Every structure is written in C-alpha cells, then in structure tokens.
Amino acid sequence: MNKAIILAGGVGSRMKTQNRPKQYIEVNGRPIINYCLTTFQNHRDIDEIFVVADESWQDYITEWMKRDGITKFQGFAGAGKSRQHSIYNGLLACRDLSETKEDDVVIIHDAARPFVTEEIISSCIKGAIDYDGAMPVITVKDTVYCSKDGKNIHSLLERSELFAGQAPESFRFGKYMQIHESATEEELLNTRGSSEIAYKHGMEIHLFEGAERNFKITTMEDLTNFQAELDKEKGDS
C-alpha cells in the first residue's frame, strides 16, 4: 500500500500571519493544505492519507476535508517539536491506525507545497519500490560558495553536483520506521530534511526531476506567487 503523510504542524513564523499558520490561509476560498490533499486524494495509487497537525487545527482540517471529499483520510498525528519529530508521529499513526507493512511506501509531503503533481507522486512511489526511497530535486542555477563565517569564501562548490531537494519524499516504511525508533533525541531535533536521516543511516535514496512550480509557501512573496499561478490557471480555463 502507498500512504501519504501530510505535514501541517508548522507555525509559519516567517509569514508573520496573525494566529494562522500558512498552510491554513485560505486562497480562492480554500485553505492551502487542501490543494495538496485533493491531489493525493485523486491519485489512483494513494491508498491512505494521514495528517500531522496541532490539535487546535484538527477540527478545522476535518471540516474542510468533508467539504472537498477527502475520503482516503485515516487519522491525525500530533505535531512534534521539530519537523522530524512530526514525521515520526506520522509514522506511528500509520502503524497504530492502519495495517502498515514493512514494504509499504510512505510518502511525506509538506502541506505548504500546494502544486504537487500526479507525476511527482507517481515517481515517488516508483522510486521507493526500485530503491529504498525517492525525492524530487531541481538543479541549482546560481553559483554556490561555502563560507564558514558568512563573510569570506572558504571553498568552491561544483554547481553541476548540487541539487535542491523538494517534497514529497518517499520511503519503505519498515526501514524508515526503524531509523526513527533508534534515533537519538538530538538527531531528531537537528535533522532538517526527510531524506537526510535516511541517507545517513544507509538507505538508498533515488533522485528524480522535480518542478520549479512545486515550491513551498514560506514567505509573503511565495503566497503572492501562489495566488498569481491560480489566477493564471483560471484565466487559461
């Protein structure tokens, strides 16, 4: 089975929106989280959906899922004190609320990436079957320098070898769960990317081409770009 874990526990501090994390901002009459939820719902190979969210927002999410017909939803997990803690909580929900097997695929996605596509989800599933996991990436267009103090260049990096990771990221459930069960508190706190902890523990993660449009809404500029893309779609139709 293929199970999606949607991370919606962030507080959106960089957006500076009062009392409303970015994933719950309503754009064109729908909260941002529901754009990706609908894509996962409509994907024929996604069997179940779990949402990681603070308890105070769970009724709000439930109401909107009813409005948008999200029938694959299986349950909530509580938000953790770091992103990786939230992922661990989502994995525990997959185990405790559903019959999840070792070789099942879990696909972890950010609620604030509304433009995830069917093609990206399909590539995630295939990558986790052929390897231990998979993630979409985009090439780095700018020259990147390494500086230890933020003031001077200390080394040059080869741009052709650099890639920016996106979400969703997929993993074999058994191996990924085992890593989290044995991880230290410090490791969970300091891990920044879903695939980072998998790579460090020897999982083979396949990279495939992502999409510039699959951006994460982090700043007000991102929110403006999201609205512009929706307006463009509406105009084209």
Q: Which amino acid is at 74?
A: Q
d(CA 2, CA 106): 6
What per-residue confidence (pLDDT) applies to 237?
65
CA 169, 14, 23, 209 dihedral sign is negative
Phi and psi torsions of 69, nearest 5°: 70, 40
Write the pLDDT tens digit of every residue in 33-68.
999 999 999 999 999 999 999 999 999 999 999 999
Q: Domain boundaries in the chain?
A: 2-217+226-236
Whether the Cβ atoms of residue 236 and residue 229 lie closer than 8 Å to each other: no
CA 24, 168, 87, 15 dihedral sign is negative
What per-residue confidence (pLDDT) applies to 17?
58
Q: Which amino acid is at 71?
A: T
State how beta strands 105-110 and 2-7 pair.
parallel
What per-residue confidence (pLDDT) applies to 235?
79
What per-residue confidence (pLDDT) applies to 12?
56
What per-residue confidence (pLDDT) applies to 14?
58
List the chain residues with pLDDT less than 50: none
Write the pLDDT tens digit of every residue in 178-209.
999 999 999 999 998 899 999 999 999 999 99
What per-residue confidence (pLDDT) applies to 224?
95
**Which residue is associated with the tokens 């933020």?**
150
What per-residue confidence (pLDDT) applies to 234?
81
Which residues contact residue 100 at a Cβ distance below 8 angstroms, ignoring those fewer than 6 apart? Answer: 1, 3, 94, 106, 173
What per-residue confidence (pLDDT) applies to 13?
57
What per-residue confidence (pLDDT) applies to 18?
59
Which residues make beta-bridge pairs with 192? none
d(CA 89, CA 53): 10
Name the CATH architecture for the domain at 2-217+226-236: Alpha-Beta Complex (3.90)
What per-residue confidence (pLDDT) applies to 16?
57
